[in-house]
Structure 1
Amino acid sequence: MKVVGYLRVSTVDQEHGIAAQRAAIWGEADRRGWAVEFIEDAGKSGKDIDRPGITRALGLLSRGEADALVVSKLDRLSRSLSDFARLLDLASRQGWSIIALDLGIDTSTPTGKLVASVMAAVAQWERETIGLRTKEALAAAKAKGVHVGRPRKLDPAVARRIRNLRSRGHTYRAIADRLNADAVPLPGGGARWHPSGVRQTALRAS
């Protein structure tokens, strides 16, 4: 079986880290009779998979020029469970395997597939939990009268009204009371006009 041995370190001077990863993959390759092509990303973060080395590796795998992607540790491939789940899905659809030596993940075996599936399920749970918390936070903000979404532009008619009232000697508080009585919407969201907000609006409109 031909495999891609993927190596990554976050800074270019971590040559020992690259050597240790290479040695671990060589040892497994010797034990299992793999032919290995090494591809490395030196000085690249693991926060996402937007890296030239992994892009090249995925190209080889998608073209059928290798049968598996091998890493000594899963975090060398990605620190994001979501990215890992996407790679698992890609590997399944394209017919190649992912092998992470430190966790015993090997999607060419039933046990490895089980471990990978559990991790993918955790990633899905993480995404859904974050989405639910975001939805709940937005709902709570709306309940408090906070505008959610793109900031509203200042209505020119409201700006003119504020200028006219100021020119006639009305205080910022008096103007705020009038705007609230008429249910005039705030440009940036919120439940009520306040003197400070009226003042800021007047300054922006001047």
Structure 2
Amino acid sequence: MANGKFIAYYRVSTQKQGQSGLGLEAQESAVMSYLNGGRWELVESFTEIETGKGANALERRPQLRAALEQCKKMKATLVIAKLDRLARNVHFVSGLIESGVEFMAADMPHANKTMIQIHAVMSEHERDQISARTKAALTAAKARGVVLGAAGAANLKPNIEERQQAAEEFAGKLKGVIEGMKARGLSQRAMCDELNKLGIKTARGGEWSLIQLQRVMSRIAQGINVVR
């Protein structure tokens, strides 16, 4: 159960998304679900609307900087909906930890600072891998004579959409299993162990890890269509 004073930080990536509230309501819901129960007080909330691009995160995120300063003044804990709402940058997450402000993510409520750093490392690695695969795909397409630019993007779109659909279908098939384990009170690590013991493979046919489980759970939480 949550206890003490909390300051919430919400972030959306574009002005359009900020005006529409897209993504913001889901973040607020996740934070309130985490705080449900216990003796807690949400003393203030900060909402950031920015692109997420650039070198210095705190300079680009005045609301985050203000939230951290307020946490120090009030001895409060910074709470966010998802770790990637802060950054997929190891250097930035390390700096946040060194700031002395206690913070937690509603999607990783039991994670300590070491686990959060590991998550940031894996997220940054995943981002770099996606970038590398995209560049390789574009290079290969160009070598085959595919016209890049707007037309080139159109050539890659069906493949991207196909992968997205496959991921959603896979998560949908596991929805009942995962919700059943959650109802039994299993931790995410225990869920991974049980899935592996049952011989249930990941979408790529491998063993389950926390990050892979969290990706599937995230898709389920976003209200995907269950495909059976």
Larger C-alpha radius of gyration, 1 or 2? 1
- The alignment's TM-score, normalised by the length of structure 1, stands at 0.48
